[in-house]
Amino acid sequence: MSYASQLDAVESLAADITAACRMTLKDGTRVICPDGNIYYRGLWARDFCYAAEGLPAYVSRQDLDVCFERLVTTQRADGAMPASISADGDVAYVCCGDNATQACGDTGPFMVKLADVPVQRDGDYALYDTHLDALVRGLDYVPRNEDGLVWIDPDHPHSGYGFRELIPVTGADAYCSLLFWEASRKLSRAAEVLGRRDVADRFMAEAVRIEENLDALMDPHEGALLAGSVGERHVDVWASAYFIHLELPRRDLRDRVIDFLCNRQEDYLQSGQVRHLLKGDAWDTILHYDMPEGVYMNGSYWGTASGWVMEALACREPARALAVGEALMRDFLDRGVFECVNRGFLWGGHGVDLTKIPLYIATIANPLPMLRRMAAWDIATPV
């Protein structure tokens, strides 16, 4: 099956998954939930953002407007943006923590990213124009340290990035800091277009502070980003790949991170999908669950991060990136699109094909932009 044929089949699968993810909240709002089995019953900000960014043909502008409005109207009085809204209308601001006083470290940035989707599609700043002040308050709520990095108090831990919500990363959080950098740049550009120079200058300065201080989260031996500066000081494959995807202007760090991702592929890739940590490594603490190494957030493989990894590999060897993309598409078409997977996982002394939550939209939405880009490459896949 040619690359083009595989990509056409994956596009069709993405359309089917998006349709299956549609549901109606109790108040009548039509939303796109994280999975087509409706296991996650409701609207999740980060999952919907990934779907809107990666699936423009299947997530319409009306979908975006309706879901954005439903989320932004639940902003807490202190500025915290919601992580999710359940089918019954219950609002969660944090996955693990105090829902009244804490919030995930990623929700403010994800709301800015959602507001930016119409800009990327059509140059339309309407969501920013209507909600700029709310978005500013959403970013201002996110705690940062003196270096501008997103900070999760070690004495009062809570979820940072939702795709590792059960892991108490504390201190400076690498992935959330990268999201804050991205959101600050997007908000600054929008504010300048809208004539809000004060906001534009302030958030561009926030982005520069992160650029200047990201060294504090670099592992000196691996040349990769650490998940947290205090709790869970593990090499974070996802954050390292996302750093390359965002193209932060730190060439010195960029070369080291690309080298790490290219040299350690065997330690984090399976069927084109990506572990949070290197093989053999495990988080120190997992909240609420018994999760041995290899299971779910503690070592399964996720397609959500595959596109960022392919971008990084393409910086050195485009053919290797193409091979990862073909392996990923084959897995989607042969086995299905799951939240996460782990082939040959040893369970009770037996190897099992571990999968969790089928028809998972972020898994297929995030890598599709890179898969589409690679379709135009005139190179051979390595044997």
Q: What is the percent of the chain where pLDDT is above 90?
A: 92
**Angle value at C-alpha 127, between 125 and 131, nearest 5 degrees:** 120
Class of domain 3-374: mainly alpha
Distance of CA 22 to the CA centre of its chain: 20
pLDDT at 378: 73
pLDDT at residue number 376: 92
Place of tokens 């972020």: 362
Q: Which of 142, 2, 149, 10 is nearest to 83 (CA)?
A: 142
The token pair at 32 is: 């796109």
Q: What was the pLDDT predicted at 8?
A: 98
- 251-277: b or e for each residue (b if 16 or more CB lie within 10 Å)? eebbebbbbbbbebeeebbbbbbbbbb
Given a cut of 70, whether residue 62 has pLDDT beyond it is yes
**DSSP code for 94:** -
How far, in Å, CA of 25 to CA of 21, rounded?
12
Does the pLDDT at position 358 exceed 80? yes
CA separation for the pair 8, 144 (Å, rounded):
43
User: What's the mean pLDDT in 282-301?
Assistant: 92
This prediction has a pTM of: 0.96
pLDDT at res. 350: 54
pLDDT above 70 covers a percentage of the chain that reads 97
139-191 per-position pLDDT tens digit: 999 999 999 999 999 999 999 999 999 999 999 999 999 999 999 999 999 99
Whole-number pLDDT of residue 112: 98
State yes or no: pLDDT of 349 exceeds 60: no
Strands 30-32 and 22-24: antiparallel
Partnered with residue 273 across adjacent β-strands are 270
Which residue bears the tokens 């996802």? 238
Mean pLDDT of 255-264: 97
* pLDDT value at residue 351: 61
Dist CA 222 CA 280 (whole Å): 15
If pLDDT is split at 50, 70 and 90, which confidence band does 344 have? confident
pLDDT at res. 380: 64
